[in-house]
Structure 1
Amino acid sequence: MPLEPIILPANQPPQFYRGGAAIADLRGGDAREYGPEDWVASTTSMFASDTDGLSRLPDGRWLRDAVCDDPRGWLGDAHLRRFGDSTALLVKLLDAGQRLPVHFHPDDRFARAHFDSHFGKTEAWIVVGTSSEDPTVYTGFRETQSPDTVRDWVRDQDAPSMLEALNAVPVAPGDTVVIPAGLPHAIGAGVFVVELQQPTDFSLTMEWRDFLDSPEKGHLGIGFDTALQVLDTSGWDAERLSTLVRHTGEPDTAAELLAAPADGFFRADRLRPRPTTTLAPSFAVLVVVDGGGALASERAAVPVSRGDTVVVPYGAGELELSGDVTVIRCRPPA
Structure 2
Amino acid sequence: MISSVPRPVVLPANQPRQFYRGGSAIAELRGVGDDRDSDDRDWGPEDWVASTTTRFGQQEAGLSRLPDGSLLRDAVRAAPQEWLGAEHVADFGDSTALLVKLLDAGQRLPVHCHPSDAFAQQHLGSRFGKTEAWIVVGTSGANPVVYLGFREDVAPEAVAHWVRTQDSSALLGSLNEIPVRAGDTVHVPAGTPHAIGAGVFIVELQQPTDFSVTLEWQGFLADAESAFLGMDRETALRTVNRSGFGDSALASLVKHTAEQSGPRVPLLAEEAAEFFLADRLHGSVELEPSFGVLVVLDGSGRLTAQGESLGLRRGQTVVVPHSAGAPALDGDLTVVHCRPPKKP
Task: Please give the range of the TM-score, normalised by the shorter of the 2 chains.
Answer: over 0.9
TM-superposed CA distance for 1:86, in Å, is 0.1
Q: 1:26 aligns with which of 26, 29, 33?
A: 29
Task: Report the secondary structure of 1:120's partner residue.
Answer: coil
Tell me which residue corresponds to 2:195: 186
Tell me which residue corresponds to 1:8: 11
Tell me which residue corresponds to 2:92: 83
Q: 1:208 aligns with which of 205, 208, 217?
A: 217
Tell me which residue corresponds to 1:167: 176
Q: Cα RMSD (Å) of the superposition?
A: 1.0
Q: 1:264 aligns with which of 270, 274, 283?
A: 274
TM-superposed CA distance for 1:252, in Å, is 6.7
Q: Is the 8 A contact 1:252 1:326 kept in 2?
A: no
Separation of aligned partners in 2, 1:327 and 1:18: 26
1:232 aligns with 2:235: no
1:307 aligns with 2:315: yes
Q: Which stretches of structure 1, 4 residues or more, deviate above 6 A after TM superposition?
A: none
Separation of aligned partners in 2, 1:294 and 1:194: 21
Q: Is the 8 A contact 1:173 1:251 kept in 2?
A: no
Separation of aligned partners in 2, 1:17 and 1:250: 32
Q: TM-score, normalised by structure 1?
A: 0.98
Separation of aligned partners in 2, 1:65 and 1:239: 43
Separation of aligned partners in 1, 2:326 and 2:266: 20
Separation of aligned partners in 1, 2:136 and 2:310: 26
Tell me which residue corresponds to 2:146: 137
What letter corresponds to residue 150 of structure 2 in structure 1? F
Tell me which residue corresponds to 1:152: 161
TM-superposed CA distance for 1:251, in Å, is 7.7
TM-superposed CA distance for 1:151, in Å, is 0.3
What letter corresponds to residue 313 of structure 1 in structure 2? P
Separation of aligned partners in 2, 1:270 and 1:301: 21
Unaligned runs of 5+ in 1: none
What letter corresponds to residue 23 of structure 2 in structure 1? G
Q: 1:46 aligns with which of 47, 55, 59?
A: 55
Unaligned runs of 5+ in 2: none
Task: Report the secondary structure of 1:242's partner residue.
Answer: helix
Tell me which residue corresponds to 1:291: 299
Separation of aligned partners in 1, 2:275 and 2:188: 11
Q: TM-score, normalised by structure 2?
A: 0.95
Task: Report the secondary structure of 1:243's partner residue.
Answer: helix
1:247 aligns with 2:256: yes
Separation of aligned partners in 2, 1:34 and 1:133: 23
Separation of aligned partners in 1, 2:135 and 2:54: 22
TM-superposed CA distance for 1:135, in Å, is 0.5
Q: 1:188-244: CA deviations, max 9, x gaps?
A: 000000000000000000000000001011111101100111210000011111110
TM-superposed CA distance for 1:316, in Å, is 1.0
Q: Percent identity?
A: 58
Tell me which residue corresponds to 1:59: 68
What letter corresponds to residue 277 of structure 1 in structure 2? V
What letter corresponds to residue 222 of structure 2 in structure 1? D
What letter corresponds to residue 307 of structure 1 in structure 2? G
TM-superposed CA distance for 1:299, in Å, is 2.2
What is the aligned residue count?
332
Separation of aligned partners in 1, 2:148 and 2:215: 14
What letter corresponds to residue 235 of structure 2 in structure 1? T
TM-superposed CA distance for 1:68, in Å, is 0.2
Tell me which residue corresponds to 2:329: 321
Separation of aligned partners in 2, 1:261 and 1:225: 29
